[in-house]
Amino acid sequence: MMNVLNHIAIAVPDMSTAIAHYRALGAEVSQPQDLPDHGVTVVFIQLQNTKIELLHPLGENSPIAGFLEKNPTGGLHHLCFEVEDLGAAIDTLSDVGARVLGNGQPKIGAHGKPVIFAHPKDFHGVLMEFEQA
């Protein structure tokens, strides 16, 4: 069901500073992408075996605003796994008692594919994102 780690997401209080840090390390950093439907601006750092997603709040009701209030210098925000069948993943999450966020309906993510999130309190303290492979 899940066998690829698509990205590791980090919430950052200042996107320009974060981009500069990763570029200084020689990382390949994408241009910022506003995702108003998700309340974030994202940047992807391409690695050989996965990606890092830098996240910054966008708009008034960003779902990551609370996280940055609690973690003002930023922090690891979520893991994103690719799954062959997102519908089956939703069913499995329900079977194991994990709440699927956003009324359980997939949304189109930064890669133009459907994604869902499972509540961190139901996954050992880790916010889990699942993206249709």
Write out the catalytic residue numbers.
129
User: Which of ligand LZKTLF4L, Co ion, none lies near 115, with the C-beta cut-off 5 to 8 A by kind?
Assistant: ligand LZKTLF4L
117 sits near ligand LZKTLF4L (criterion: CB under 6 A): yes
- Binding mask of the shown chain, residues 49 to 88, with x at each position contacting ligand LZKTLF4L by CB under 6 A: ----x-x-------xx-xx--x------xx-x--------
**Greatest Cα pair distance in the chain:** 44
β-sheet bridge partners, residue 82: 4, 131
The footprint of Co ion on residues 114-133 (CB under 5 A) is 129
User: Which of Co ion, ligand LZKTLF4L, none lies near 127, with the C-beta cut-off 5 to 8 A by kind?
Assistant: ligand LZKTLF4L
10 sits near Co ion (criterion: CB under 5 A): no
Report whether 97 contacts 20 (CB < 8 A).
no
80 sits near Co ion (criterion: CB under 5 A): yes
Give the shortest CB-111-to-ligand LZKTLF4L separation in angstroms: 6
Beta strand 75-83 with 127-132: parallel, antiparallel or unpaired? parallel
Kindly report the backbone phi and psi dihedral angles of residue 101, in degrees, each rounded to the nearest multiple of 5, phi listed first: -75, 165
* One-letter identity of residue 124: H
Which of 18, 40, 45, 54 is the binder for ligand LZKTLF4L (CB under 6 A)? 40
Q: DSSP 3-state assignment of 105? A: coil
Beta strand 33-35 with 51-57: parallel, antiparallel or unpaired? unpaired
Q: DSSP 3-state assignment of 54? A: strand
- Among residues 29 and 80, whose Cβ is nearest to Co ion? 80
